[in-house]
Structure 1
Amino acid sequence: MKSIAPADAHADADAFILDVREDDELARARLEDARHIPLGELVERLDEVPRDRTVYVLCHVGGRSAQAAQYLEAQGVDAVNITGGIVEWHRAGLPVTMGGAG
């Protein structure tokens, strides 16, 4: 499984970021342009994940996104885990919207 630092994922202007956290987590902090599909719904919503570009997968600290990236790779998706999740993204000073649903 491939991994990428949050700053490197953010530097990709064309990045497709898939957020696999739960709705309540998303309500606390989110990335504005990320696509949200909770990990538990990923199998049934697989058709919403692009296959023609790299998909960067994000969760809270990196565990669930690693599982999702492994699953997506097995389905033929070029998936990359964002190490440290949204916690590390925020620590790196990258843009995060706090509170409220998008």
Structure 2
Amino acid sequence: MFGQPVPTISAVDLEAHRADGWMILDVREDDEWAAGRIGGSIHIPMGEVVARLDEIEDRVVCVCAVGGRSARVTAYLNGQGREAVNLDGGIYAWAAEGRPIEG
């Protein structure tokens, strides 16, 4: 149905991607973002991604709560010529591994 499988990375991989200069794009809603986020991430809610495509860099790690919304955004961005990957398990998996959440 979606064509290509959505590329995913783990929380460990996110650190390497960040070190290589990848944008971390948080696509959750405003209230979720306000409650806590991965440091250095950029917030563009999923519903605004198409309208704000020019704000999104060429290499992107997409993040949401558990990985569903960000998987859809990842697929869209890859279709737009970006190199995008999805954070497997989202911010919940990130936090479950004891990684820092900013708020």
Q: TM-score, normalised by structure 1?
A: 0.89
Matching of residues 1-102 of structure 1 within 5 Å? 1-12=6-17, 13=19, 14-51=21-58, 54-98=59-103
Which has the higher mean CA deviation after the structures are superposed, 11-20 or 24-33? 11-20
Q: TM-score, normalised by structure 2?
A: 0.88
- Letter paired with 1:49: I
Larger RCO: 1 or 2 (CA < 8 Å, sep 6+): 1
8 Å Cα contact 1:3/1:80 also seen in 2 = yes
Q: Output the aligned Cα RMSD.
A: 1.0
Unmatched 5+ stretches in structure 1: none
- Measured after TM superposition, the shift of residue 34 of structure 1 is 0.2
8 Å Cα contact 1:7/1:92 also seen in 2 = no
Unmatched 5+ stretches in structure 2: 1-5
- Letter paired with 1:57: C
- Measured after TM superposition, the shift of residue 64 of structure 1 is 0.1
Number of residue equivalences: 96
